[in-house]
Amino acid sequence: MTVLSALPRRALGRTGLNVSVLGFGTAPLGDLYVQLDDRAAIAAVERAFELGINLLDTSPLYGHGLAEHRCGTAIRRASREQIVVCTKVGRWMDPMHGRGDGSGFVGGQPHRAVVDYSYDGTMRSVEQSLLRLGTDRLDLLLIHDVDIWTHGADAIEERFREAMAGAYVALDRLRGEGVVAGIGVGVNEAEMCVRFAKAGSFDVMLLAGRYSLLEQPALTHFLPLAQQQGIGVLLGGVFNSGILATGAVSGAKYNYRDAPPEILAKVAEIERVCAAHGVALPTAALHFALGHPAVASVVLGAQAPQELERNAAALSTNVPTALWADLKAAHLLDADAPVPPAGSR
């Protein structure tokens, strides 16, 4: 299978890697919402490569190893040198015990996730990922979910200390040994990105949900700091768990829960402005996220080839600059937010 290069690519900070402006987020391949057929899941990864998506973002957490297994099968059928593989640390899988409740995945492997940001736990996680992915090296390794969202306010300080004293030291060593090209964090809060950026030498950060067409809290401190330090930024959750994809419909999700009335109202207003310019809401959301100069790629989840094709087509859609001006005039978008020029991809 040949990896094409139809999508534009951007330099990822100081890693020396060039990544497609669309990345493939593989949480759905861990049976996040539904149990997927193996062949269909692997076909989605292969279709991503065919479309020119070269950034594959995964994690041991996704299906407790299942997403990495499925990605590994697709990687073995492709040219490894053309693919940027990103996975995460902070949990290793215990194969001797069942998954238990609260995993969030409806399917996946029958293994228990052990939260562990220690040095030894990190090395164990990396070794397991290399085996599941069927490769001898990784391109990007991220410390996963060191945020209040995951661990709560009472535990976050201890988790941060453990991550810097353990996981960071391990990843810095692996970077020095050439096992990995870049190290970073993958979190849900811009404030934690700032804390990590000030505490260590990181190459890349994946921020979910906090820089989108709906909200831009990362604009004030994190994104300028990333530019200053040469940190490559990947954005996840640019649809804010679904509402910027579905619109303000009944049952729309925001931060993995039913959207509250004020969020529904704001999204409805954004959607109204987009419709006036003939632009679909998810298309505007995608283009906006790529408009900030610190952002190298937007990582979008998918579980079927058709979803990947739809994302690639949205990227090719022209979005008039007047749309951004109208959103700012209506105070629906931060006045200082950079926006993409007309015809950009």
Question: Among candidates 208, 188, 57, which has minimal Cα distance to 129?
Answer: 57
In the residue annotation, 328 being an active-site residue is answered as: no
CA dihedral 339, 248, 317, 341 (to 10 degrees): -10
Catalytic residue among 31, 62, 211, 254: 62
Catalytic residue among 31, 57, 145, 147: 57
The CA-CA-CA angle for residues 320, 219, 345, to 5°, reads: 35
Indicate if the alpha-carbon torsion angle 17, 20, 23, 29 is positive or negative. negative
Facing residues of 300 across strands?
A: 24
In the residue annotation, 62 being an active-site residue is answered as: yes
Query: What's phi and psi for 243, nearest 5 deg?
Result: -65, -30
Residue 341 has which token pair? Answer: 């020029």
Indicate if the alpha-carbon torsion angle 250, 252, 256, 262 is positive or negative. negative
In the residue annotation, 254 being an active-site residue is answered as: no
Catalytic residue among 31, 33, 38, 88: 88
Q: How far apart are CA 247 and CA 242, in angstroms?
A: 8
Q: How far apart are CA 71 and CA 257, in angstroms?
A: 28
Catalytic residue IDs: 57, 62, 88
